[in-house]
């Protein structure tokens, strides 16, 4: 008899094993995207409904707060933040729920469980691609083609996914043991929404925050990602400080390292708690 999982094995990331299950990864992602929009009248166009609604609502709120007289500029600025923020929140939410949603697989067959949160993020990237394509068309109509800095766009998408994968792995492991995560995570993400420059700019926050809170605000990795995403479109970076950028990158790496390590550490006990 061959032992597939040995409790004495150390938790370590085996990328070769993960890649060997690439077909399973693709099939899970395809299954999830099919189920999500099955028996819906609009189908995959529902990927546009949430960002459009948020852009409309928070675009108006942004205009009222900043007293802007340029609706197109306000909605495009808010739209850039909403599009990338929706990617981040959906990646965190879907990856944190991936183990519970696939509990039937966890208890039946062996495969690297890391595939589940990664496949859920692939589905989020499909939704993001659709909504961003429409947004980019509108941006070109009102603002023209972005400059050469747009070539950095994939980098900030990768950074956003890296941050969310680290956070999602932490919450996915916790969610198996403590279902309170399902209630606490939406509240945490809602709080993060209002303390990040999604529908208001970094300059607005820095102008209105007390001096002692400004470093705390700038250490938020989401600030770096949101500002970088807008830079790819507009070519201007509202507040760039190498110290805070470096700190944000370090935080992302730490979260990813801790997320993977924690996930692999408890991977063997997932089926017991499910």
pLDDT 10s digits, 14-23: 777 778 888 8
**pLDDT, tens only, 172-211:** 988 888 888 888 999 999 999 999 999 989 999 999 999 9
The tens digit of pLDDT for each residue in 243-262 reads 999 999 999 999 999 999 98
**Dihedral sign for Cα atoms in the order 217, 221, 224, 230:** negative
Is 16 contained in some domain? no
Q: Does residue 83 lie within any of the structural domains?
A: yes
How many domains does one find in the chain?
1
Position 151 in a domain: yes
Residue 175 lies in domain: 48-273
Tell me the pLDDT band of 271, cut-offs 50, 70 and 90. Answer: low
CA 62 to CA 78: how far, in whole Å?
8
Please check whether residue 81 lies inside any domain of the structure: yes
Return the percentage of the chain with pLDDT > 90, whole number.
47
- 32 lies in a domain? no
As given in the structure block, the two tokens for residue 53 are 């609604």
- The closest of 266, 245, 272 to 106, measured between CA atoms, is 272
Q: Is residue 13 part of a domain?
A: no
pLDDT at 110: 79
pTM of the model: 0.87
Any domain includes 33: no
CA-to-CA dists, residue 181 to 80, 92, 97, 169, angstroms: 29, 12, 9, 12
In a domain, 267, yes or no: yes
């Amino acid at each position: 008899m061959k032992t597939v999982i040995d409790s004495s094995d150390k938790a370590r990331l085996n990328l070769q094993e993960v890649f060997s299950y690439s077909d399973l990864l693709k099939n899970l992602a395809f299954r999830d995207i099919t189920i999500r929009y099955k028996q819906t009248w609009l189908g995959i166009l529902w990927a546009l409904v949430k960002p459009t609604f948020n852009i409309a609502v928070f675009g108006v709120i942004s205009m009222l707060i900043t007293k802007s007289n340029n609706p197109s500029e306000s909605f495009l600025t808010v739209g850039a933040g909403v599009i990338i923020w929706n990617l981040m929140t959906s990646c965190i939410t879907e990856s944190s729920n991936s183990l519970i949603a696939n509990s039937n697989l966890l208890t039946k067959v062996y495969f690297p469980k890391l595939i589940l949160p990664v496949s859920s993020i692939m589905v989020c990237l499909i939704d993001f691609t659709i909504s961003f394509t429409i947004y980019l068309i509108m941006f070109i109509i009102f603002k023209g083609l972005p400059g050469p800095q747009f070539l950095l766009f994939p980098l900030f998408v990768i950074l956003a996914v890296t941050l969310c994968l680290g956070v999602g792995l932490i919450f996915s492991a916790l969610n198996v043991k403590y279902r309170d995560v399902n209630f606490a995570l939406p509240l945490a993400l809602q709080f993060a929404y209002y303390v990040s420059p999604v529908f208001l700019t970094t300059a607005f926050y820095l102008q209105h925050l007390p001096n002692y809170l400004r470093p705390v605000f700038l250490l938020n990795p989401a600030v770096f990602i949101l500002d970088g995403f807008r830079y790819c479109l507009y070519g201007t970076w509202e507040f760039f400080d190498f110290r805070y950028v470096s700190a944000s990158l370090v935080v992302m790496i730490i979260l990813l390292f801790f997320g993977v390590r924690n996930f692999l550490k408890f991977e063997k006990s997932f089926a017991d708690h499910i």
